[in-house]
Amino acid sequence: MISDTFALAISSGLSLFLCLKAFIDYRAALRSINYLPGFRALISSFGMLGLFFKEPKRGLWGGRRRFWLRKHLDFEEAGVDIISHIAFLPSVSTYLLLADAAAIKEVTGHRARFPKPTYKTLRIFGGNVLASEGEEWKRHRKVVGPAFCEHNNRLVWNETVKIVNDLFANVWGSQSEVYVDNVVQSVTLPMALYVISIAGFGKRALWQADGNLPPGHKLSFQDALHILGTDLWIKAATPTLLMNWAPTTRIANVKLAFDEVKQYMLEMIQERRNAEKREERYDLFSSLLDANDLNEDGNGNVTLTNDELLGNIFIFMLAGHETTAHTLAFTFGLLALHPDYQETVYQQIKSIVPDNRPPMYEEMNSLTECMAVLYETLRLFPPTATIPKIAAEDTYLVTTDRAGNRVVVPVPCGTALHLNVIALHHNPRYWDNPSAFKPERFRGDWPRDAFIPFSTGSRSCIGRRFSETESIAILTMILSRYKIELRNDPRFADETYEERWQRVLRVKDGLTPA
């Protein structure tokens, strides 16, 4: 009895001590940022715990979906476009969230003061341009940069046109109407996969594959890429020992896909380096090999190792596959909800590309209505909710409150900052009626510093032009031939516009690096 009482007293005392320490740390955190307003939660919206609490619950956890649900509301309630998020578990942590275009430009323009964290979980095959910083990033960037050239953009356009034509001829055939239950799974995801396969790796894929596998392989190259692109989080979150043990079929499939993709890429490296005559090719993989060989130091040492080459090309595949597919799906959904804009796009396409001929790469910049619709989709549904940075030194940022008063925000060394892309894209300071779908806002002058779906500054997405080229080619081809409409369903006959928007354009969490 005495021992039980003693244990209870120890437990109560420890709990009291931890609560007192958390309160002291919380007050210190508030003082360090000069009591900047924001939202508080028991569990952070970021970090591993945040992955398990996606839906927000007031006072308990922020949740990853908070940013999609709240958009700019947290900033409006705080009265300022830089706010704080303080969480208590696993320990008291402070985050600054930014929806001020000038402050974001300050952060992205000073890499030394505000480096980005390195995504160690994305070193799936090896180091890469995304999961690196400082001198390592410069080394990767020197080799990777030249791969994204005008020759590659033209290749992307031409191959995308071929892939869509193959869809028309061998899948949809002569159908005047095509019903698609899941546009991502049936159309945009495989289409993006086929584009990255040929323009990224030089491997052409057809909608109607012959089913023959190369010797020594258990999966086709495209199937292996698709599995990794879909279930990358399993590879990133599962320890190597557990992956090798493979207790479930899904984990075993991911391990098999990982091994297959690595084998395919190593074979391509070997094949192209051993070729007696180097072909002039402009897919990203070939361009990377060429650029890496050109940076040889004279002693046979190239800038990037084989693992780093694999790491970079895999990141291109992931970013170019998943993000483009989902952006296009949202674009189709928005156009189905807004037939007037769809007609505007169609009329411009027909004025530039008459007689049902394939569009040419040289015509891309004239397809301004397609680009406006794509940009408005990226504004409303950016590939990532927030972009993380870290303060490398004690510094400060400046913003203004709703009354126009200058607000200086202290940023202690080590503070985690998040550029809140969704809030910035819904900030009424920069966008009129920000929740509305208005592609015309991208005609003429528009606030470029308040539009960061591809990030901004020196660490902005290196594949932006690749993605835009592919997306405009797909939109042009499909909209010139088909009208996008929602299927009539009596279950939703009485839906309001807002209810239909929420149903058609429902957002789900996924792994998309920025």
Residues tagged in the binding site annotation for heme: 461
- List, in sequence order, every beta strand (DSSP E) within 212-360: none
Dihedral sign computed on CA atoms, order 59, 62, 66, 67 = positive
What would the 3-class secondary structure string for 50-105 be?
Answer: HHHCCCCECCCECCCCHHHHHCCHHHHHHCECEEEEEEEECCCEEEEEECCHHHHH
Q: How far apart (Å, rounded) are the C-alpha atoms in residues 225 and 10?
A: 54
**H runs (alpha helix) in 388-430:** 421-425
User: DSSP character for 121?
Assistant: G
**8 Å CB contact between 440 and 434:** no
Binding-site residues sit at 461
Q: Using omega within 30 degrees of 0 as the cis cutoff, is the peptide bond preceding 382 cis?
A: no
3-state helix, strand, coil in the chain (%, to 5): 55, 10, 35
- In this structure, what are the phi and psi dihedrals at residue 255, rounded to the nearest 5 degrees? -60, -45
Going from the C-alpha of 167 to that of each of 197, 201, 210, the distances in angstroms are 16, 20, 15
Q: How far apart (Å, rounded) are the C-alpha atoms in residues 201 and 314?
A: 10
- The count of other CB atoms within 10 Å of the CB of residue 266 is 15
Crossing angle between the packed helical segments 339-352 and 464-479, to the nearest 10 degrees = 90
- Three-state SS at 340: helix
